[in-house]
Amino acid sequence: MTYEEAVGKLKEFGQEHLLRYYDELGEEEKKDLLSQIEKTDFSMTHFAKDKSNVETRGVIEPLSAMELSEIEEKKDVFREAGLAAIREGKVGAVLLAGGMGTRLGSDAPKCMYDIGETKPVYIMERLIENTMDVVREAGRPVPFFIMTSEKNHDITVDFMEKMNYFGYDKDFVFFFEQDMAPATDYDGKVYLEEKGRIATSPNGNGGWFSSMHKAGLVEKIREMGIEWLNVFAVDNVLQRIADPVFVGATILSGAASGAKCVRKADIHEKVGALCLEDGRPSIVEYYDMTPELLDAKNEKGEPAYNFGVILNYLFREKDLEEIMNVDFPLHIVEKKIPHLDEEGNLIKPEEPNGFKYEQLVLDMIHRLKDCLPFEVEREREFAPIKNKTGVDSVETAKELCKRNGIEL
């Protein structure tokens, strides 16, 4: 893109200030900035002030989960169906590792975080080992896709190479980068993080399928005959990946998707709860829970919105292709965004100073016809590492790992 073309594009979105330092840049930096402007989609920035595309909530109703007792009864049948699909190569795993992990406060990608005490135990190692359990049982590798972002791609790939993929068959590991979105102030003006670099951040965990498509991996998935994708977050070190019982239960239920969920620790726990919204599967976030929803009971007298999602979903790939071109709602999230001030000094704010624009995986569930909520035991499958200390932290996850016999 030429300088004139960049000016034209930026004018359209009221972002000409991004070229403020252009004349001070070296030739390479100029080229990089123009290329970043060319690649960046600025169309969402007006939503900073115009909240018209923020979805209003529909009618929320309970969605009952397949509970542990029922799963236990049918476990063998589910396991056989799941293993058959895995052995036929119909199941792939997708690790969402594009996030910034800001709450953990480490500059390295989250997957490289070491939770070991007597030896190094990296988060990625835990996830690979969990997947290996299924690989051993099924007798074939599960294709393992890793979503990174521009900010952590190279370092993640180098780490996996250096660690020899923690023993996973590297021919079955595929990396792809997720799209980036610009970060703005409260008026929708995009920040500069350097004189020649726009402030951008990964566009949320819901961007994974379209990013996979852009990377040419959807075609690969079709060629490989993969029919189901198990998407999961990087930070739950106990989760079961490509779990044959979950895979089998979802396939046999006939639903387009399945969601692993845990019984909430208490009704106020800060996790999204599965529900129906206008008759379709959905997730009601903890901050959207009204007093009525908090009080609602099911026929057993238990809280009606009691199953929290743990970001471990199974999607039928064909159905994802169908909804891929649907406009997903944007989530406009207040964040602390490092940026250059008027004088060109780098500011690292202590308080939120603007917005990031994200798509979320839970909106994919809502676009699908149906979803099987599948209960798992939280003590055995839910050890998220979100914070350095306190709730859902390194400490709590380590404790849970030890209780499950994992040596740290």
Question: Closest distance between ligand UTP and the C-beta of residue 356, in Å?
Answer: 9
Question: Closest distance between ligand UTP and the C-beta of residue 99, in Å?
Answer: 3
Question: Closest distance between ligand UTP and the C-beta of residue 7, in Å?
Answer: 29
Q: CA 224 to CA 143: how far, in whole Å?
A: 9
Buried b (16+ CB within 10 A) or exposed e, 275-294: bbbeebbbbbebeebeeebe
For ligand UTP, which is the closer residue by CB, 78 or 113?
113
- Count of alpha carbons within 13 Å of 260, Cβ hemisphere only? 27
Tokens of 118: 């007597």
Question: Closest distance between ligand UTP and the C-beta of residue 63, in Å?
Answer: 22
Q: CA 408 to CA 118: how far, in whole Å?
A: 6
Q: In the bound complex, which residue of the shown chain has the CB atom lying closest to ligand UTP?
A: 99
For ligand UTP, which is the closer residue by CB, 78 or 208?
208
Question: Closest distance between ligand UTP and the C-beta of residue 293, in Å?
Answer: 22
Tokens of 183: 């970060």
For ligand UTP, which is the closer residue by CB, 243 or 248?
243
Q: CA 153 to CA 275: how far, in whole Å?
A: 35
φ/ψ region of 42 (left if φ > 0, alpha if ψ in -120 to 50, else beta) reads alpha
Question: Closest distance between ligand UTP and the C-beta of residue 225, in Å?
Answer: 26
3-state secondary structure of 163: coil
Q: CA 277 to CA 271: how far, in whole Å?
A: 17
For ligand UTP, which is the closer residue by CB, 91 or 97?
97
For ligand UTP, which is the closer residue by CB, 101 or 248?
101
Question: Closest distance between ligand UTP and the C-beta of residue 121, in Å?
Answer: 18
The contact set with ligand UTP (CB under 6 A) reads 96-103, 110, 147, 178, 202-205, 233-235, 311, 386
For ligand UTP, which is the closer residue by CB, 113 or 374?
113
Question: Closest distance between ligand UTP and the C-beta of residue 20, in Å?
Answer: 27
For ligand UTP, which is the closer residue by CB, 29 or 285?
285
Sign of CA dihedral 240, 206, 270, 262: negative
The distance of Cα 177 from the centroid of its chain, to the nearest Å, equals 13
Q: CA 169 to CA 144: how far, in whole Å?
A: 10
| Stretch (H or E) spanning 34 | helix 27-39
Q: CA 6 to CA 37: how far, in whole Å?
A: 7
For ligand UTP, which is the closer residue by CB, 105 or 291?
105
